[in-house]
Amino acid sequence: MSEAHERYDVTIIGGGPAGMYAAFYAGMRDMKVKLIEGKDCLGGFLHQYREKMIWDVGGLPPMRCEQLIEWLSLQAQTFQPSLVFNRRVDGLERLGDGTLRLRTDNGDTHDTQTVIVAVGRGITEMTKLDIEGAERYELTNLHYTVQDLARFRGKRVLISGGGNSAVDWANELAEVAGELIVVHRRDQFHAMEGSIARMRKVADVRTPYQLHKLHGSGEAIHVVSVVHAESGAEERIAVDEVVVSHGYAKDYGDLLHWGMDIGHKGIRVSQQTETNLPGIFAAGDCADYDNKVSLIAGAFTDAVLAVNRAMRYINADAPGMAYVSSHNEKFRQLNRQLTQQHEDAPSRL
């Protein structure tokens, strides 16, 4: 356990879009930055749909989400923040001199003047099938997220679920799968009307049915039994791949005990991302305020607001925001390098 260590200006909890952009922007403001992420890499919830095309991030051409993860990760590391992976932040203590001491699940402590909570939905785990022996197929043809569309090409794919993600995946997989069956335990789907209508055209939709048993060799599932939610009648469906999209559990863990004002939509913050705890700000999907935009673009804006408030918390005389990047001295040397690279190998500059 490490106790005595250097104090950071800001420690960001969570490495999703909000946390990554906060790390970049705080670096731009010359802050000493640490980012702690519970998983083993940056990207946050974007990893759940890394194969999907993203169109709605301002100024960027449509691209696969995995590309966006890569670019955001690179940008986050522009000013070399200290990155800590595979550590979930649990504890908070306020020391006599105002230092905030965070404690991670392995007992390590991290001292900081301010905290930006950017935990999205918390440490999310996909809701797994409660069917005996299901876990053994996770290595082969039982999927809780779709990582690689190519693997489903020409195959007989069964999707179980009725929410946005299930419907989206059905439409996406319809482009490559040989045959697509969607089962859902209710007759109604919770997704955009247009997406549901499209899914009904491209997939064999069976409702109200629930996954009941997986039949396989032990290595792969070959047949799935589904039961009718009302009559109990059982059907067997031959499959090559099974995708389960039953949502995920939202888990803020011990952050719930810090004394933050947390409602059913997230951590209540002011329009300036301030929580009710001094020095602690919240950004991205976990932050709840009026007219909140729960998109990647909204996460970026929250990150800027949170960093600027954190800066002011440390030094009340600090400017309200950073100098824009086009006129910011911090980029002078980097711009020279980029211009040189362009001269050596012309690109889009």
Ligand X SMILES: Cc1cc2nc3c(=O)[nH]c(=O)nc-3n(C[C@H](O)[C@H](O)[C@H](O)COP(=O)(O)OP(=O)(O)OC[C@H]3O[C@@H](n4cnc5c(N)ncnc54)[C@H](O)[C@@H]3O)c2cc1C
Footprint on this chain of ligand X (rule: CB under 6 A): 13-19, 36-39, 44-46, 49, 54, 56, 88-89, 118-123, 164-165, 253, 255, 284-285, 294-297, 299
Pairing, β 100-104 against β 89-94: antiparallel
User: What is the nearest approach in angstroms of ligand X to the Cβ of residue 219?
Assistant: 30
How far is residue 243's CA from residue 225's CA, in Å, rounded to a whole number? 14
Least Å distance, CB 79 to ligand X, is: 19
Cβ of residue 58: shortest distance to ligand X, in angstroms? 10
| Shortest distance (Å) from residue 270 CB to ligand X | 17
State the Cα–Cα distance between residues 221 and 268, nearest whole angstrom: 45
- 227 vs 282, which CB is nearer to ligand X? 282
- Tell me the DSSP string of 267-299: EE--TT-B-SSTTEEE-GGGEE-TT---SHHHH
Interstrand relation of 287-288 and 266-268 (parallel, antiparallel or unpaired): parallel
Q: How far is the CB of 298 from ligand X (least distance, A)?
A: 7
CB 212 within 8 A of CB 233: no
Burial of 237 (0-12, 13-18, 19+ CB in 10 A): middle
Instruction: State in angstroms the smallest separation of the CB of 55 from ligand X.
Output: 7
Smaller CB distance to ligand X: residue 291 or 333?
Answer: 291
DSSP 182-251: EE-SSS---S-HHHHHHHHHHSEEETTEEEEEEEESSSSEEEEEEEETTT--EEEEE-SEEEE---EE-B
Q: Choose between 46 and 226: whose C-beta lies nearer to ligand X.
A: 46
* Closer to ligand X by Cβ: residue 100 or 296: 296
Minimum gap (Å) between residue 57 Cβ and ligand X: 6
In the complex with ligand X, the residue whose CB is nearer, 297 or 338, is 297
> Positive or negative, the Cα torsion across 94, 99, 100, 103?
negative
CB 248 within 8 A of CB 123: no
HSE, side-chain direction, 13 A CA sphere, residue 331: 15
Q: C-beta of 254: minimal distance to ligand X in Å? A: 8
Which CB, 56 or 130, lies closer to ligand X?
56
Residues 6+ apart with CB under 8 A from 44: 14, 15, 16, 17, 18, 19, 20, 120
Task: Identify which of residues 172 and 179 has a Cβ nearer to ligand X in the complex.
Answer: 172
- Nearer residue to ligand X within complex by CB, 24 or 137: 24
In a 13 Å sphere around the CA of 32, the CA atoms on its Cβ side amount to 9
Nearer to ligand X, 48 or 113 (CB): 48
Residue 346, preceding bond cis, omega within 30 degrees?
no
Q: Nearest distance from residue 229's CB to ligand X, in Å? A: 25
The CA distance from 160 to 224, in Å, is 11
Computed from CA positions of residues 84, 11, 277, 17, in that sequence, does the dihedral angle turn out positive or negative? negative
